[in-house]
Structure 1
């Protein structure tokens, strides 16, 4: 450990950092996956490129939250965190398998947490890795189990979806308002990145608003009431052949209702880790940008 240096991450580190997370998460998935599930696959190049773009975006908009552990010019671990409107968020956190057990995880998380010390609340999506969960719990996070829905929907069960339109950058103010009402902080500049990567749909009426980013299911969904959230989720299901909708807390039971009505399979995996806040609702967070 004495020959390992913890230093701020730069945009030039992003490709190496992506490989650290791809290898680290693949090892975790291989160690934790259930026998009835398909064997885990290493992150494909397209998703790797999205990870790099996202990391560079976060370093560019909030450079103090991202760090690497380096030894002899080799990156052994990384953490990517950021602050949005007094909310601290953890986007990614991994150590390569051969360097685990050396204390690098704790050493990396410390400056990231310090970066968010003045924040009113904090949020992250956690895997089921027991070591990471102990670390988050020790840092003051409460852990809420998450579910996910997966499968090919029964199209005969999908209702006619109305009052949903395509979204654009002109909807960012509306979406930031919905963010503040649901999770307590706007995504702000993150919406511009999300719009580049996903299809955006919006639903609004005089009394309710909501939006969703779609990608073979839901990448992120926020709404001011359950009816609007359900409408957006039905649009996601109707637009996909094989559906994956993740990060569902018990407080968002409306999503379970919709998914089971569409004949999707329900599973439990991972946790939403929160500090000084309750699970947002109606809300399905993005895996990294929350």
Structure 2
């Protein structure tokens, strides 16, 4: 194992590296979850194979659309860390960033982050979703990112309080121009090709009204994994539409809610969900997007 950053090589991530870094990511975040998860919650589990395959698909999507932002640290034949980042228009995004457990504090992470940040030179804005890892938070803050606490809604939806939502339809990749336009109004940059990946992986709901437009990608449990709208009322309607699709008895987790998005907390409380803290949204050159719930990796 490397004693310091001088013992490792930082090189571009290759297509065949992705399954290896997926396992490294799973092990790294599992170790962190074991340190930080709230007492009384179920013990964190290592990432399941189905989620692992989606992680591989998403990372290969980044390699296909912006490979220059993806890096690994190697010691001999072993991958000991990685950072995946990408740009969309004038936005730089850090998607994932892990150093093998037990090797933190040796300068490996600093080199990986420097390589990823260099890819964002010339971008006006930057975003990343950070865990509660104090070492990583320090590194992001030193790099000039502002910290905004994220909240998590958790629990089972009280179906007796679900309102009737009108003029929300099923979406498709044919809505990409509309989705990109809403992205630019909320976060300052379109998701572009990321919509193709997201529409393959999640249910998409869209609304277009004279009073506002928006969209949400919804997971099988009814949680919005990415939601953007031109005003808070439209965003609230989309979130209610997502919650209405939750299977009876399902336990939801809706994360990535910043203080700029209290409308989402209001919907969650009305649905009888509880509020918890989890991680931070880090931004540079911008304010936290609103009305907006960001995706954990594609933001």
TM-score between both structures, scaled by the size of structure 2: 0.96
Q: What is the 5 A alignment of 1:91-240?
A: 91-215=95-219, 216=221, 217-240=223-246
Query: Structure 2: where are the runs of 5+ without partners?
Result: none
1:260 corresponds, among 260, 269, 281, to 269
2:10 aligned with 1:6, yes or no?
A: yes
Which of the numbers 51, 54, 63 marks the counterpart of 1:50?
Answer: 54
| Structure 1 consecutive aligned stretches of length 4 or more whose deviation exceeds 6 Å | none
Find the partner of 2:259 among 250, 267, 277. Answer: 250
Please tell me whether residue 277 in structure 1 is matched to residue 286 in structure 2: yes
Q: SS where residue 7 of structure 2 aligns?
A: coil
TM-score (structure 1 length as normaliser): 0.99
C-alpha distance in 1, partners of 2:63/2:103?
24
C-alpha separation in 2, matches of 1:86 and 1:181: 14
Displacement after TM superposition at 1:98 (Å)? 2.5
d(CA) in 1 for partners of 2:295, 2:57: 15
**1:66 is matched with which residue: 45, 70, 75?**
70
Is the CA contact (8 Å cut-off) linking 1:218 and 1:244 kept in structure 2? Answer: no
- Give the 3-state SS of the residue equivalent to 2:102 in structure 1: helix
Query: In structure 1, how many angstroms separate the alpha carbons of the residues matched to 2:282 and 2:76?
Result: 34
Give deviations 1:221-275, integer Å, cap 9, x for gaps: 0000111100110011111132221100011000000000000111111100000
Moved more, 157-166 or 185-194: 157-166
Structure 2 CA distance for aligned equivalents of residues 95 and 29 of structure 1: 15
Alpha-carbon distance in 2 for matches of 1:218, 1:104: 34
Unaligned ranges ≥5, structure 1: none
1:35 is matched with 39
